[in-house]
Structure formats: C-alpha cells, structure tokens
C-alpha cells in the first residue's frame, strides 16, 4: 500500500457479510465517511483495488465497484495509469461542518426557517379500540368493495394499454367518469351539468385547497359558519385570506349576519355545508338558502358548497343543493364518495361553470398532474350499472336503524348528562354534555375502558365554546352502539 497512513486508516475497517446491504456499498459508505470527516482530502490518492482488497480480505472486484459507485457520485476521479483520487473539485472543510450520516441520528430540524402557521393537528396513529363513536364515518363492511375491485380489475385488463398507462391524460379526469358522474348528479341532485362542468379531485380537502389556490388571493375575505370545519378554515388562512366566522343556529348559518358584512366589505367566498352543517348537522332553512344565493348574485362572491354526505338523509328526500338553483355560476359544488366507502378512498369532485373547471384543471397540474384515472373509471362503472345506487338505499336503511337505536340509548341511559336533537340525516349526533362534564377527561377515561370518542377540542373557537362533540353511529353495529353507551354511562 502506498502510504502507511492509509494503511492505518483501513486496517481496522470491518465489513459485515451477513447484512442485506452489499459489501461494496458498505465500503463506499466507509470511504465517503472518511472524505466527509477529512480523513481523506481532496486530491489524495487511494490504494489500488488490489492493495485494498488484500488488506480487507475481500474480492478485488468488490473494491472496484465501491470506487465506481463513488466516482459516479462525483466524490472520486480515476486516471488511466495513475490511479484513483479523491476529487480535486472538493473544497477542504472543517470536519465538523460535514458529519457522517452513518454515525449520526436522522436530522430532526432543518437548517432553514420554516414560516409558522397555526395548522390543525395532524391525524396521529392512536390506538383505535373495537368500540368507537367517531366523527361520522361510514361502515366499510357495507360498501360494494367487491364490485369496485372487479370494475378496477377490468380497467387493468382491457386493451389500449398505452392510452391508459403510457401517457398523461386530462387533469380534470377521464371523460367516461365525468360524463357518468354528470348524469348521476343531474338525476340525483337536480344539477344541470355536462362533463365539462366536472373536475375529479382526491376528496373534499383537495377540492377546497385547489379552489383556495386558484381563486383566493392574500387579503380576500372568506366567510364560514362558527363552529365549522377547521380543516377548511386553515385552508383559507393558508391562502392568506382574512377569515370571518358567522354564527350558526338551529337553522344553519345566520345569513343576516353575512348580509351586514357584505354591506361594509368585499367578500370573496362563503364556505357552507347547507345540507348537514358541520359539525352541528342542522340543515340550512329554505329562506336562508334563497337569500344566500341572492346575496351571491348581488355582491359577486363565490359560494363553496361542501355537500359531504348528501345521500344519507332519513326523514325525507335529501334537500337539493344550492347548486341546483344556481343560474349565474356563483356556486362551486363539492362532493365526495368517501362517505359511501371509507375515508381511505380519496374520491371527490368539484362542479362549477365550464371556465371555472378549466381554470382549476390548469392549476391542478401544478399540484397533481392528474388523478387516479383507473379508480375514477372503476367508480363510473359501478355508477352506471346501478351498484352504488343499490348500496346507498341499503345503507340508508341500516344507518337509520342505528341512528334510532343510538338516540334511544342516549335518551334512556344518559338523559341527565346530554342533550341532542335527532339528526334528520348524516352519520353522527351533535351531542351537548352538561357543563360539569370535562370532555377531555371523559375521552381519556372512555379510551381506557375501550371506547374512542372526541375530546371536543376541534370544535372550540376563541369566541365560541360549546361542551359538545360529534358521536358517530354509522360505523358501529347495534351491539357495539349498546356497549359504547354503557361505557359512557359507567364512565360518567
């Protein structure tokens, strides 16, 4: 070996033949570590592959592959007849400025500034027990998963592979899906659409974020009800909008308050969940619906209508969306199939005027070149053959039975602790607890007994406080609902 210093550098090197990482990459890691810690410096010659192989008692080819790996990455350079050297393009540095990744933990904090914003807490991987009164999720065991799987599989086995897999397609979604969805929405919701009015998105949140990115500018005023959905609220703030909350009573958002705001300042968008307001589940009364549309026409603001669970209404036929009465293109309508299947399925859509959808599709390319066209077309298949409609009729009957049982249990077992109104639709009961009950403590104690409920924090606002939570009944069986209420009673 050319240098006793290099000999001492490598003589204690150990390579582990029992682990999955190839030996040549282990050697490359060691060499890179020596370069980063200045044990090997710019321009320094490395031992020949024969010498280093003999010292380490490995195959010469292995050393050559390690050298080639680092040479391709730019750390080494090789010259015919002269040997292999540490790249002359590397600037010598202090050892502490470039430490070894092999001997240090994963980086926890970036070296650059991250702008602070009060985002909502992300979903954590908490233990979910068998019993849960959730935020209002569907029961995936009822969903037509086999039919969806069959339709998806058929997408993969049909011809035209290049058209399906070899190129990008329309960012608004596949034509077949948009045409089928247009017919479905026109039939079930009284909309007046064509395929050009439809944009496929990966769920409601993506739809809200896309609209905020494309149509909201810093300083724009966005109005929504309080309490509301904080995931939506934080999208408005992220876009730089000035968010104004207006009250919600037993008839939905108080539109009269919105009118007063419009008289004094320019409103860009109003976010509303009129069918079943989130989180309180109340429906927006007809006079307020009409007045909201009139105000939009008069003052020129966008109505973002989030119709997250249209299909699940029990007392009578679902109320038609605001979009069905919109004649001037003021409403952007957003729906989702997540409530039909599971939150794990990210399938949603935006409906709007053709030029709005075209604009949103152009902006969408910057975020997500296109959606899952295979899944979209599979969904179109089970829409077209009536599978989804049959499932919805079946699920409504089951969910209504569960609602009635659950509300009866709350009345019989917890009447001294809770008050609520039986919801006309949706998958959850907005339940107000007695002021003496600490919801955070209640949630912790219930979890220890095997029941998951909300602690109510997500529904608290600086100027609004209610000792209320959403207790979802749809995703639990009758037996599970009975056991859940028993745990609540015992915990209280």
Decide if 223 contacts 255 (C-beta within 8 A): no
Alpha-carbon torsion 132, 135, 136, 141, what sign? negative
How many other CB atoms are found less than 10 A from the CB of residue 452? 17
What does DSSP say about strands 131-132 and 451-452: parallel, antiparallel, or unpaired? parallel
- Nearest residue to 31 (alpha-carbon basis) of 51, 54, 55, 6: 6
Please identify every stretch of the chain with a pLDDT value under 70, giving residue numbers as ranges: 1-7, 91-105, 116-127, 158-169, 369-371
Distance CA 134, CA 111 (A): 39
CATH architecture of 4-97: Orthogonal Bundle (1.10)
Distance CA 375, CA 177 (A): 9
pLDDT value of residue 429 = 96
SS3 331: strand
The per-residue pLDDT for range 377-412, each reduced to its tens digit, is: 888 888 888 888 888 889 999 999 999 999 999 999
Return the CATH number of 131-137+391-491, one of 3.30.465.10, 3.90.1150.10, 3.30.70.1150, 3.10.110.10: 3.90.1150.10
DSSP per residue, 413-460: HHTTTEEE---SBSSEEEEEEPTTS-HHHHHHHHHHTTEE---SGGG-
pTM as predicted: 0.78
How many other CB atoms are found less than 10 A from the CB of residue 188? 14
pLDDT value of residue 98 = 47
pLDDT value of residue 95 = 47
Query: How big is the chain by its Cα radius of gyration, in Å?
Result: 30
Show Cβ contacts of residue 94 under 8 Å, excluding neighbours closer than 6 positions. Answer: 38
The per-residue pLDDT for range 455-476, each reduced to its tens digit, is: 998 898 888 889 999 999 999 9
Decide if 320 contacts 189 (C-beta within 8 A): yes
- Nearest residue to 278 (alpha-carbon basis) of 330, 331, 336: 336
For the chain, which residues make up each domain, given as ranges? 4-97, 131-137+391-491, 145-389
SS3 76: strand
CA atoms within 13 A on the CB side of 343: 7
CA distances to 220, 249, 264, 364 from 291, rounded to whole Å, are: 22, 16, 18, 32
pLDDT value of residue 369 = 67
Per DSSP, 235 falls in state: H
Distance CA 63, CA 55 (A): 11
Q: Which residues pair with 200 in a beta bridge?
A: 349
Show Cβ contacts of residue 298 under 8 Å, excluding neighbours closer than 6 positions. Answer: 262
CATH topology for the 145-389 domain: 3.40.640
- Nearest residue to 206 (alpha-carbon basis) of 370, 323, 342: 370
């Amino acid at each position: 070996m050319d240098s006793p210093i290099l000999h001492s550098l490598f003589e204690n090197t150990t390579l582990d033949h029992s682990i999955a990482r190839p030996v040549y990459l282990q050697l490359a890691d060691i060499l890179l570590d020596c370069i980063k810690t200045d044990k090997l410096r710019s321009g320094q010659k490395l031992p020949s592959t024969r010498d280093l192989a003999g010292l380490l008692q490995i195959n010469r080819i292995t050393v050559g592959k390690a050298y080639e790996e680092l040479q391709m990455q730019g750390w080494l350079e090789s010259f015919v007849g002269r040997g292999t050297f540490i790249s002359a393009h590397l600037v010598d540095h202090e050892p502490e400025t470039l430490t070894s990744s092999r001997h240090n933990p994963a980086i926890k904090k970036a070296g650059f500034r991250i702008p602070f914003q009060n985002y909502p807490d992300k979903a954590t991987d908490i233990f979910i027990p068998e019993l849960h009164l959730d935020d209002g999720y569907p029961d995936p065991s009822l969903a037509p998963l086999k039919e969806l799987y069959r339709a998806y599989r058929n997408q993969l086995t049909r011809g035209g592979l290049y058209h399906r897999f070899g190129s990008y397609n329309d960012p608004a979604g596949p034509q077949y899906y948009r045409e089928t969805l247009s017919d479905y929405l026109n039939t079930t919701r009284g909309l007046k659409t064509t395929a050009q009015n439809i944009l496929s998105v990966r769920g409601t949140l993506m739809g809200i974020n896309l609209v905020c990115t494309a149509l909201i500018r810093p300083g724009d005023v966005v109005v929504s009800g309080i309490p509301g959905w904080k995931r939506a609220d934080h999208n408005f703030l992220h876009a730089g909008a000035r968010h104004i909350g207006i009250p919600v009573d037993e008839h939905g958002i108080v539109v009269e308050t919105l009118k007063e705001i419009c008289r004094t300042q320019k409103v860009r968008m109003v976010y509303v969940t009129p069918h079943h307001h989130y989180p309180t589940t109340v429906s927006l009364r007809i006079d307020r619906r009409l007045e909201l549309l009139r105000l939009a026409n008069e003052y020129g603001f966008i109505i973002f209508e989030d119709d997250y669970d249209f299909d699940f209404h029990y007392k009578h036929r679902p109320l038609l969306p605001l979009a069905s009465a919109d004649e001037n293109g003021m409403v952007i309508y957003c729906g989702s199939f997540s409530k039909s299947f599971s939150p794990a399925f990210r399938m949603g859509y935006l409906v709007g005027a053709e030029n709005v959808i075209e604009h949103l599709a152009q902006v969408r390319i910057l975020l997500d070149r296109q959606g899952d066209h295979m899944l979209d077309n599979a969904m179109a298949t089970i829409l077209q053959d009536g599978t989804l409609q049959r499932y919805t009729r079946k699920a409504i009957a089951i969910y209504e039975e569960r609602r009635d049982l659950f509300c009866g249990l709350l009345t019989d077992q917890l009447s001294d602790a809770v008050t609520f109104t039986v919801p006309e639709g949706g998958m959850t009961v907005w339940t107000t607890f007695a002021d003496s009950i600490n919801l955070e403590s209640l949630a912790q104690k219930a979890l220890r007994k095997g029941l998951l409920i909300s602690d109510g924090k997500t529904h608290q606002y600086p100027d609004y406080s209610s000792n209320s939570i959403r207790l979802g009944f749809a995703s639990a069986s009758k037996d599970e609902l009975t056991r859940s209420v028993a745990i609540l009673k015992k915990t209280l």
